[in-house]
Amino acid sequence: MGARPLIIDCDPGQDDAIALLLAIASTKEFDLLGVTAVAGNVPLAKTEANARRVRDLAGRPELPVYAGCPRPMVRAPVTLATLGPLTNVALAIIKNPSILDNVAEIVAMGGAIGLGNVTAAAEFNIYADPHAAHVVFEAGVPLTMVGLDVTRQATATPARIDAIRSLGTPPAVAVCGMLEFYGARTTAKYRHDPPLHDPCVIAYLLKPELFEGRDMRVEIELAGEHSQGRTVCDVYGRSGTPNARVLEHVNSDGFFTLLTERLVRFKASTP
């Protein structure tokens, strides 16, 4: 099978940056057509600039990076990996629904069956633009939700960070710096080592066998006073037809082995 045509929509962001490096290192599996930036972790001008920095760090200055996705980039069906709020994707669907003919599947970091992170009820990427999330979840495209239930299992423990640092390459050293910066902010608040939310999307595309999940109906809470942006997941199939595959478990050792193996590739000038 040839490399999968892939577009990554992201808001780098530390874990987005690590996800981009993982994807860029995976040249056999991905034909990375481009990266689009969305406002999220920081404003759009910064997420675009950060995406360019990561691309340059990875030695891929020719890789297209766009602020927002103004038009379909390709004709052949692509996989779309979303690592930030779903604003760009929803807007593209609303402006030109036929764009979906070119999208084979969407794999989105966002939501949770359980606890939120930005509020008690909601995860950041969905909370940031719940109406956009609603459009995407109702679009009828095969959709995989990579939510906090699974990403909180992929935590960067000190031992895992040390293993990455020992690779000694500029991208690996940069990843450790990001994880330590990000970890200092998250560990005190959430009481666990920093989770690699966005890299889970890329790892799922590379090695789906590391993950377990179930098909279920997911509704986006648009109006709740305390629950806006919550992904209401019908785990027990009580409501309508499933609209997403929701990942629930990751083999976290396998995930970090994959990440470390791929970061090694930057030892050569071109992965």
Neighbours of 42 (CB within 10 A): 14
Distance (Å, rounded) from C-alpha 78 to C-alpha 32? 10
**Residue 83 in contact with ligand RIB, rule: CB under 6 A:** yes
Q: How far apart are CA 263 and CA 66, in angstroms?
A: 24
CB 4 within 8 Å of CB 80? no
- List binders of ligand RIB among 153-172 (CB under 6 A): none
Task: In whole angstroms, give the CA distance from residue 67 to residue 172.
Answer: 26
Which of Ca ion, ligand RIB, none does residue 199 bind (CB under 5 to 8 Å by kind)? none
Question: From the CB of 265, what's the least distance to ligand RIB, in Å?
Answer: 23
Are the beta carbons of 40 and 84 closer than 8 angstroms? Answer: yes
Q: Count of residues binding ligand RIB (CB under 6 A)?
A: 14
Q: Nearest-CB residue to ligand RIB?
A: 124
Structure-token pair, residue 30: 């991905």
Q: Does 9 bind Ca ion (CB under 5 A)?
A: no
Q: Does 152 bind ligand RIB (CB under 6 A)?
A: no
Q: Are 9 and 56 in contact (CB under 8 A)?
A: no
| Nearest CB to Ca ion, comparing residues 7 and 167 | 7
Q: Is 197 a catalytic residue?
A: yes
* Contacts of ligand RIB in 111-150 (CB under 6 A): 117, 123-125
Compute the distance between CA of residue 39 and CA of residue 151 in angstroms, rounded to an integer.
21
List residues binding Ca ion (CB under 5 A): 11, 13, 16, 83-84, 198
Interface residue list for ligand RIB (CB under 6 A): 13, 15-16, 40-41, 83-84, 109, 117, 123-125, 197-198
Q: Which residues are catalytic?
A: 197
